[in-house]
Chain A
Amino acid sequence: AQTVTQSQPEMSVQEAETVTLSCTYDTSENNYYLFWYKQPPSRQMILVIRQEAYKQQNATENRFSVNFQKAAKSFSLKISDSQLGDTAMYFCAFMKHVAGNNRKLIWGLGTSLAVNP
């Protein structure tokens, strides 16, 4: 069974600084997808960034980038130039690549990020 571990329950960062959230996962699969979602207080889950395991190049989306280390089964999220609106719970999630079948997400427990002014 797949598991996702987020070892940092809470983190804080000063506005405009850079912060890295860690995520490790356990799987015997070779093809899979990884995601970071954010869940602001009392608001819905929003996709931040996604990575296909067969791609060696790390995904980037504006101020958000990942460090994907497949051999180490690590998928960290870096947020550059942190903004107050980045304050949220961040979840790392894993999805097996199974053609035609359930693509349920397996989730970590989340990291609560506070961006301080």
Chain B
Amino acid sequence: DTGVSQDPRHKITKRGQNVTFRCDPISEHNRLYWYRQTLGQGPEFLTYFQNEAQLEKSRLLSDRFSAERPKGSFSTLEIQRTEQGDSAMYLCASSLAEAGGLETQYFGPGTRLLVL
């Protein structure tokens, strides 16, 4: 069990460029969550997957954002036409959802995005 990994750890881009982040969850986990954390704030939910199905998206996720989890394993989060307001830490978490049970989310190190 190597934990949740994210790549890249840091990304600097110019406004208007597209960026893509990757998350590799813990291997047996069926749920994957994306959160965004800005400076001085707690994380905010963006979207989540149950296996390969994207089941909910936050209103924070504008049309410029898209997320996939094509084979129910790793996930990608793409931001098109980046804006300075997109600058944040993007956190990925995975969990094993069991019927009626306590579900604990385990987090990756995050991808810190800076849009110039």
Residues of A within 8 A of B (CB): 4, 33, 35, 37, 43-47, 50, 52, 91, 93, 95, 99-110
Q: Are B95 and A103 in contact (CB under 8 A)?
A: yes
Q: Are B40 and A45 in contact (CB under 8 A)?
A: no
Q: Are B55 and A102 in contact (CB under 8 A)?
A: yes
Q: Shortest beta-carbon distance, A38 to chain B, in Å? A: 11
Q: Are B43 and A99 in contact (CB under 8 A)?
A: no
Name the CB-closest residue of B to A51. Answer: B102
User: Which residues of chain B are near A107, meaning CB under 8 Å?
Assistant: 42-44
Q: Are A105 and B43 in contact (CB under 8 A)?
A: yes
Name the CB-closest residue of B to A55. Answer: B102
Name the CB-closest residue of B to A95. Answer: B103
Identify 8 residue pairs between A and B in the complex whose beta-carbon atoms are under 8 Å apart, listed by A's number.
Answer: A44-B107, A45-B91, A91-B42, A99-B100, A100-B99, A104-B33, A104-B45, A107-B43
Q: Are A110 and B42 in contact (CB under 8 A)?
A: yes
* Contact-residue bracket for chain B: 20 to 34
Q: Are A103 and B97 in contact (CB under 8 A)?
A: yes
Known contacts A35-B104, A105-B45; can you find 15 more A-B pairs with CB under 8 A?
A33-B102, A44-B109, A44-B110, A45-B107, A47-B104, A50-B102, A91-B42, A91-B43, A93-B42, A100-B99, A101-B55, A105-B105, A110-B40, A110-B41, A110-B42
Q: Are A102 and B104 in contact (CB under 8 A)?
A: no
Partner of A108, one of B40, B42, B97: B42
User: Which residues of chain A are near B69, meaning CB under 8 Å?
Assistant: none
User: Which residues of chain B are near A110, meaning CB under 8 Å?
Assistant: 40-42
Cα(A46)–Cα(B102), bound, Å: 17
User: Which residues of chain B are near A104, meaning CB under 8 Å?
Assistant: 33, 45, 48, 56
Q: Are A44 and B104 in contact (CB under 8 A)?
A: no
Cα(A4)–Cα(B41), bound, Å: 12
Q: Shortest beta-carbon distance, B21 to chain A, in Å? A: 15
Interface residues of B in 27-81 (CB under 8 A from A): 31, 33, 35, 40-45, 48, 55-56
